[in-house]
Structure 1
Amino acid sequence: MAAGYKTAEPLEYHRSFLKENCRPDGRELSEFRTTTLNIGSISTACGSALVKVGNTTVICGIKAELANPTVEAPGKGYIVPNVDLPPLCSTRFRPGPPGEQAQAASQFVADVIESAEIIQTEDLCIDRGKLCWVLYCDLMCLDYDGNVLDACVIALLAALKDTQLPEVTISSETCAPVVNTEKKHRLHIHKHPVSVSFCVFDDSIMVVDPTVEEESLSTAQLTVVMDEEQRLCALHKPGGTPLSGEKLQECISKATTRQREIQALIDRVTCSVKPVK
């Protein structure tokens, strides 16, 4: 009977739980799903991480290549993120070029990288105006059950912390780069941003870490990105009903707490890895 009600009236089905301050999956309105993290999942990558937020699963692989710095920033390297939402993760996605949601997710991750200053891109420069590192950050969703942005940011941050780059010097004789794969160093992570997504129901009820069903039924969505210094790095709200200042401050407070939890998780996992020789 309940399954039929859920299918026929999905919004009313969810409202029946929300008015009791809980959700269909048993969580409280402000409760996150279980989050797990593994690093080093891709042996061929310079760094990688696999993140699960509930059923939503995202894997991130970092590939480093030598390139010429841009004319506008001769003393910097650069980072290129790409989010892939393939058909294997959900029937809502189709084969072919990246869809609108995948493109929006890639842009969101790029904005977080820039605004939060996860890495000082000057650290990626090898020879000013001549040689730098470019980090290609490929994020693929393996299972989509809502809140893919939060999973992407966690996966990206963990993969960057796992990344090792070989030592590169410039030959005095040939002026060509010499790569020493026997000697590597880890990236210096400058900031640790964490994103927290919310959904709004009936213009007033807010839930955190929404499932795909909650996303589809909500009247508004909001993603807040905070770092360890309690700095608001990004605020993403793709339309929907407006939020009061009080509601926004509540979201920022929850995001601040979540940032500490996720950074502790990433630190715990990365500290268990053997140090670079």
Structure 2
Amino acid sequence: MRPPSPSIPEKEFLYASLKESLRLDGRSLLQQRKLEFRFGPELGYVECKLGKTMVIAQVDAKMVKPTPERPFEGSISIHSEISPMASSEYEAGRAASEEEVMINRMLDKVLRRSDAIDKESLCILAGHRVWHLRITFHFLSDAGNMLDCACLAGIVALRHFRRPEVEVIGDEVIVHPPTERAPVPLAIHHTPFCFTFAFFPDVTTSPVLDPSQLEQRLSAGLLSIALNAQKELCVLQKLGGVPLPHEEIIRLVDTSVQKAKELHEFVETRLTEDWMSRTVEVR
């Protein structure tokens, strides 16, 4: 069963609150929900919570033969699954919804096509062996804005992952287990983050960052901006028919740049804390 549509009183109350620059969860219009990470025992496993929205990302690597067109590059694939436990709107075995398709496409653009990962560094033996990275997403709770949560979980999982050390002797490839040689981090060019803004039918109502489920369902359009802390814009995607002047888009890009800098520092701190805890355990 699909969840019931918001009632008329819910709509009116939300719209009236937003006109007064108030949100139902107490946040300011351009404030994200609380962000939490939990790293798994294996490298490359990350649980990301954005408020009550929860996504798990896991990275695995295996050796494969490269494509004839790109013999010196490894490859990346993205697989996602929205569990029925995330929301009653999703059912196992049912055709992907428009939102699921949009999330998959955006993840592909942000994590694979933005060249965040140096694919040439994944080459082991040119033309014969390269690393193939598989990023798997499990959406466990939908409290709104699953896209931003998934993008964040994916890039942090890539930063957290370590591939096995390999040695090439002639045409022979030797994979060393972690007990013999320390695993190697991925070569990452930049760390993109995604920020989604929701717009509403009344053009006098300001857009909100990181919309809740109710805000997202009652919005008239969404604008997703993917960029890094170095102010490099990766993807800009607009959904919905609300017209936006270019001044408003530039303002939201500037807001996203500042948020990306803050997020980058937070991610670096959490990754360092996790790595230090693992180093202490090894000692």
The reply to whether TM is greater than 0.5 is yes
Do the aligned partners of 1:42 and 1:61 also contact (CA within 8 Å) in 2?
Answer: no
How big is the alpha-carbon RMSD for the aligned residues of Structure 1 and Structure 2? 1.8
Do the aligned partners of 1:200 and 1:218 also contact (CA within 8 Å) in 2?
Answer: yes
Equivalence for 2:195: 196
- Structure 2 residue identity aligned to 1:167: E
Do the aligned partners of 2:63 and 2:132 also contact (CA within 8 Å) in 1?
Answer: yes
Equivalence for 1:253: 254
Q: 5 Å matches for 1:75-224?
A: 75-96=72-93, 99-100=96-97, 101-172=99-170, 175-181=171-177, 182-183=180-181, 184-201=183-200, 202-204=202-204, 205-224=206-225
Q: Deviations over 1:174-233 (max 9, x none)?
A: x34321013211112210111100000123420110011111101110100111220111
Do the aligned partners of 2:29 and 2:209 also contact (CA within 8 Å) in 1?
Answer: yes
- Alignment of 1:58 onto 2:59: no
TM superposition shift of 1:115:
4.2
TM superposition shift of 1:171:
4.6
Cα separation, 2, equivalents of 1:42 and 1:99: 31
Do the aligned partners of 2:158 and 2:186 also contact (CA within 8 Å) in 1?
Answer: yes
For 2:136, what is the secondary structure of its paired residue? strand
Matched residues, percent identical?
27
Do the aligned partners of 1:77 and 1:124 also contact (CA within 8 Å) in 2?
Answer: yes
Equivalence for 1:3: none
Do the aligned partners of 1:116 and 1:191 also contact (CA within 8 Å) in 2?
Answer: no
- Structure 1 residue identity aligned to 2:16: S
For 1:69, what is the secondary structure of its paired residue? coil
Moved over 3 A (4+): 274-277
Q: Deviations over 1:15-54 (max 9, x none)?
A: 1211211111111111111111222x253xx411111111
Q: Deviations over 1:40-75 (max 9, x none)?
A: x253xx411111111101110001111111111110
- Structure 1 residue identity aligned to 2:166: V
TM-score by length of 1: 0.91
Do the aligned partners of 2:111 and 2:155 also contact (CA within 8 Å) in 1?
Answer: no
TM-score by length of 2: 0.89
TM superposition shift of 1:113:
2.1
Equivalence for 1:70: 67
Cα separation, 1, equivalents of 2:54 and 2:112: 24
Do the aligned partners of 2:111 and 2:151 also contact (CA within 8 Å) in 1?
Answer: no
Unpaired stretches in structure 2, ≥5 consecutive residues: 1-5
TM superposition shift of 1:114:
3.6
For 1:253, what is the secondary structure of its paired residue? helix
Do the aligned partners of 1:63 and 1:135 also contact (CA within 8 Å) in 2?
Answer: yes
Unpaired stretches in structure 1, ≥5 consecutive residues: 1-5
